[in-house]
Structure 1
Amino acid sequence: MLLDDATLQVPFLADLVTMADPTSRWSFLSYLKQSGHLYPFYIRESFYPLRKEYDDYCRWAAERLPSVRFGQRVTGVEHDGTAYVVRTDGDASYRTRRLVLGIGTSPRIPDPLRPVVDRGTAVTHSADYLARKAELQRQERITIVGSGQSAAEIYHDLLSEAPAHGYELVWLTRSPRFFPMEYTKLTLEMTSPEYGDYHRALPIDTRDRLAREQRHLFKGISGDLVDAIFDLHYQQRVTGDGPRTTLLTNTEVRAARPVAGGSELDLLHVETGEPFSLATGGLVLATGYAPTPPAFLDGVRDRIRYDARGRYDVAADYSVDVHGGEIFVQNAEEHTHSLLAPDLGMGPYRNSVIVAAMLGREVYPIEKRIAVQTFGVPDHLKRAI
């Protein structure tokens, strides 16, 4: 999703290291200084880097780390009684006492949409949008499914170029409205160590309910982009270039099937209960991502803790192994640590916790409390009943 004008949804301080060590040479500001962009970034007066700029920053850091190995696919992990043995497809192997799984998440395809995926026509997940964009724009109608930031960015990108191509554009979501990301300060405090501790202590059913209810807090659309979409609609209406577009909320995809020239979707308006269908040539699934347990861990499955629903049972220090302190996960713990798990700005904090667990000491100071508010019932207000 490296669109030319797309920015991060978090400030530049949410880089690889600054929130753990502001003096680090691997900071985004250090990258700007070395690349000669520091003063232009300063004059720009925006805390939010371009996404392509952040991508270049990550490449800059990786190229300067001799310990990073690209192009190696892990095929298996075993434990030889003393250490873990990690094997790759290049017949290389690495012995280690500890593992950190930072493999990220995989594109999520809802079951009703699986019949039209990978069938050689203009159907793509948002992860591959740019690679399939030209193919999509040759269709008479393009439909976007989803309501988060990725869906909105793709919609805005396609809408801006619709007059030049002449396609019709449909954007539909199951959500009751196109939720903006809530970015007020007390809500931002939910990405805090104390909220993570509070969330971990809740019953599993409560945590899973909150995961559904809190999606818009970090998967909503930035307010600026919502306004830009409306302004683009207005501009095209005034200039007479369109827009040929339909936005549908409360719309659930019940089934999908390939048809001549594209896909046909069986839809249901969840508030009115009215079923209807939609034929489309192009289809973009902005349906998000989900953690997928990798097959290469099968050899050490007996050394990993799982909860009652088959997910990693993640401890406060992000470890998941039965002994503790051997196998750690990153961005696979939303069900235990809440919206802290995917938050970019909390990455250095998570790393600091993991490093401390490995070494038995805080290499980087770990904040215990940063929030103004209290989550749960504070001790001084508790009383026996």
Structure 2
Amino acid sequence: MHDAYDVLCVGYGPANVAVAVAFEELWPQARVKFLEREPGPYWQRAMLLDGSDIQNNPLRDLVTPRNPRSRYTFTNFLHEQGRLFKHLNLPSHYPLRKEYARYVQWVAETVQADVDYGREVTGIKMDSSADGPLVEVTVADGTTYHGRSVVVAPGRTPNVPAVFGDVPAPHLFHTSQFLPNIADLERDFDGTLAVVGASQSAVEVVLDLIARFPAARITNVMTGFGYRLKDTSPFSEEVYFPEFVEYYFHATEEGKKRLRDQLRPTNYSAADADVVSALYMRMYEDELDGRERIRLATNRRIESVERTAEGVALDVTEHITGERERIHADRVVLATGYLDLGITGRTEQLPPLLRDLADVLGVTDDQPLSVGYDYGVVPHPAFEREVPPIFVNGLCESTHGLGDAGSFSLLALRSQAIVESLERRLVAEQGTADLVAAQAAGSEI
């Protein structure tokens, strides 16, 4: 018999840190192991830019919506760090991203969680024991862990469109790797840096680059006419309410598509007013001073990308006029977002770590991963009794709505749903196993 954990949790970013808090507060008896590839509990290290904020109310933290009396609230973090009154006095609507990263790290290190750092998970498959199906998780050095269930929270896969091919970093890279790939450039760097995209991340990167490298030229390539303001209407922001999750989950596929089309500007291809205004003011002042450091190459479609001796060349076409142009850059930053689960658009059929389970989970070219309301994976009916509980945490925008779009808004409530479902499933399963064993023992007397 395997010495199995009750739950194996892959990843220890904000999504699974919230799960760790939920285990401590809701089901402390569970034997849980967390596996994290990084050497510590870090969040968005590559995008902790000066002045950048988190874009959501700080009370939508890892625990407050579920348990505002918890020790692990953002408010209590500020109190324990001696910064509560200073923070309350800030002339800002949202906390700095740097401070929220420290909050996440503080919770991760304070909560009673069993974490193995520096463990990159390379595979997940099923195993079995006399007590029922198990999950086997393998890490890079060949070590295996066994559990009666697994919660997968590796973060979403960066979206790198096929046109960008195999141009290696640091010549071309995604924003998720931004700071490490510009760390070698000196402050007096006077080359050209291209940023692809028109999202919040894109404008943040443009502002960071021009401040970090005052002599550089920044070219921002985007498919639209210009930056659009994010829809922050309080009516639209109700997509981050728990009631919307239920509404969205039970909608038809046609209904889900209609909602996505309506609500896309609340999170995608748009930016907050503060950074848009800051960028426009910076460009205006540059024009006043007779210099052009930032160029917006708008309405451009990137046709091909080539690695050159000087850097990277982007062949682009202007949507309206049809004009063709070759843009040369020393480095290219992709602010192109992340993949979601699905089979159309910017999607992948299942998290890469679950690829070895595709058959038993019923995933095919025409069928993405099926996820239940409790974030538990629904296996193929033929294998239902053979598959231990598998949960996906923070990857379910296509089934549960924008609250799963890399946002903190519903982390606390999602972690509650996952932990309570795991307890129901595993305790009931163990109870059944104990009853069968007792009956078998009784029949031998």
Equivalence for 1:19? 65
The separation in 1 between residues aligned to 2:327 and 2:152, in whole angstroms, is 41
What's the % identity of the aligned pairs?
28
- Report the equivalent of 2:272: 222
1:184 alignment counterpart: 233
Hey, what's the Cα distance between the residues in 1 that align with 2:175 and 2:143? 33
Name which of 101, 105, 121 aligns with 1:74: 121
257 and 68 in structure 1: CA distance in 2 versus 1, 3 angstrom threshold: same
What's 2:357 paired with? 300
Instruction: Tell me, in whole angstroms, the C-alpha distance in 2 between the residues paired with 1:67 and 1:198.
Output: 36
Unpaired runs of 5+ residues, structure 1, are 362-385
Structure 2 vs 1, CA of residues 306 and 194 (structure 1 numbering), >3 Å: closer, same or farther?
A: farther
Q: CA offsets, 1:320-342, max 9 Å, x none?
A: 13249811112221221221212
Does structure 2 retain, via aligned residues, the 8 Å contact 1:178–1:249?
Answer: no
1:296 Cα offset (Å): 4.0
**Distance (Å, rounded) in 2 between the aligned partners of 1:301 and 1:285:** 30
CA shift in 2, pair 1:143/1:275, >3 Å? same
Instruction: Indicate yes or no: 2:430 matched with 1:339.
Output: no
The CA distance in 1 between the partners of 2:320 and 2:252, in whole Å, is 30
Alignment check: 8 A CA contact 1:86 1:94 kept? yes
Matched, 1:350 2:414: yes
- Amino acid across the alignment from 1:286: A
Classify 1:43/1:204 alpha carbon distance in 2 versus 1 (closer, same or farther; 3 Å).
Answer: same
Q: Distance in 2 between matches of 1:41 and 1:301?
A: 47
| Contact 2:376 2:390 (C-alpha < 8 Å) held by counterparts | yes
Task: Normalising by structure 1, report the TM-score.
Answer: 0.84
Assess, with a 3 A threshold, how the Cα gap between structure 1 residues 202 and 227 changes in structure 2: closer, same or farther. same
Unaligned runs of 5+ in 2: 1-46, 341-347, 426-445
Q: Give the letter for the 2:297 counterpart.
A: L
1-structure distance, mates of 2:224, 2:180? 27
Q: Is the 8 A contact 1:143 1:284 kept in 2?
A: yes
Aligned length: 356
Question: What secondary structure is seen at the aligned counterpart in 2 of 1:124?
Answer: strand
- Report Cα offsets for 1:282-319 as digits up to 9, x if no partner: 21111112256455434433442447744221211111
Distance 2:321 2:388 in 1: 52
Residues of 2 paired with 1:19 and 1:46: CA distance? 22
Q: Which residues in structure 2 correspond to 1:252-263 (within 5 Å)?
A: 252-263=301-312
Partner in structure 1 of residue 283 of structure 2 = 233
Q: CA RMSD in A?
A: 2.6
Give 1:52 deviation, angstroms: 0.9
CA distance in 1: counterparts of 2:62 and 2:367, whole angstroms: 31
Q: How far apart, CA to CA, are the structure 1 residues paired with 2:173 and 2:296?
A: 19
Letter in 1 for 2:395: A
Task: Say whether 1:170 aligns with 2:219.
Answer: yes
1:113 has 2:159 as partner: no
Q: Distance in 1 between matches of 2:368 and 2:190?
A: 40
Equivalences for 1:9-48 in 2 at 5 Å? 9-48=55-94
Aligned match of 1:382: none
Q: Does 1:3 align with 2:49?
A: yes
In 2, Cα distance between the equivalents of 1:157 and 1:299?
A: 40
Displacement of 1:175 after TM fit? 2.6
For the structure 1 residues 200 and 44, does the alpha-carbon distance in structure 2 shift closer, same or farther, using more than 3 Å as the test? Answer: same
What TM-score does the superposition give when structure 2 sets the normalisation length? 0.73
* AA in 1 matched with 2:203: A
In the alignment, the residues of structure 1 paired with residue 389 and residue 53 of structure 2 have an alpha-carbon distance, to the nearest angstrom, of 36
